Amino acid sequence: MRVYLIGYMGSGKTTVGKRLAKQLKFEFLDLDELFEGKHCIKIADFFEKYDENAFRNIEAELIRETRKLKNSIISTGGGGPIFNDNMKFMNQNGLTVYLKMSPISLTHRLSNAKKIRPLIKEFNETELEEFIINQLSKREVFYNKAHIIAKGESCEINTLVQSIKSHPLFK
């Protein structure tokens, strides 16, 4: 069984993923970390050297490689579900969980984050919130195709574990 965590950057996919993996006794895989380790370059540096399209193509390959995994929680990048039919692939090859957060909450988290995010590094807080609202309006069409939608601001791990275990796709 593969559980794919999707959601906007800063929604807590990595944090929630590690906790879910521990509770379910699954392996945890962060696709952003896998990308950086496999290609020996930080995603921020990759974006500066190459373009987003090149990143998205490699990201799609990594998502397809997860088909081989068993009993794994997989944290995807925020744009992962949007490109290259990745959402369709994840829905067909596992259980998808969308960690949904409001634009205000995401703006607060991202403006206070230590990790540099290449797509938003130039924005002040007002511009960031506008950017997030705009992107979410496009991305939620994909995110909302998830099998389970969980509130990211108050994600209770035990409740999410029960939702996952009781889902008909959970094997």
- Would you state the pLDDT for residue 155? 85
The yes-or-no verdict on residue 114 having pLDDT over 80 is no
Cβ–Cβ < 8 Å for 96, 87: yes
**How many Å apart are CA 147 and CA 103, to the nearest integer?**
22
* Distance of alpha carbon 65 from the chain centroid: 16
Outline where DSSP puts E strands in the chain: 2-6, 27-30, 72-75, 95-100, 148-151
Q: Which residue has the higher pLDDT, 136 or 113?
A: 136
**How many Å apart are CA 145 and CA 73, to the nearest integer?**
18
Average pLDDT for 91-114:
92
* Phi/psi at 120 (5° precision): -125, 5
- Would you state the pLDDT for residue 116? 67
**How many Å apart are CA 147 and CA 162, to the nearest integer?**
14
Edge-first strand listing for the sheet containing 148-151:
27-30, 72-75, 2-6, 95-100, 148-151
- Domain limits of the chain? 2-165
Looking at domain 2-165, which of 3.40.50.300, 3.20.20.10, 3.10.105.10, 3.40.630.10 is its CATH number? 3.40.50.300
The yes-or-no verdict on residue 121 having pLDDT over 70 is yes
The mean pLDDT value of the chain amounts to 93
**How many Å apart are CA 27 and CA 50, to the nearest integer?**
31
Share of the chain above pLDDT 90, in %: 78
| pLDDT tens digits along 12-64 | 999 999 999 999 999 999 999 999 999 999 888 898 888 888 999 999 999 99
Structure token digits, residue 122: 């130039």
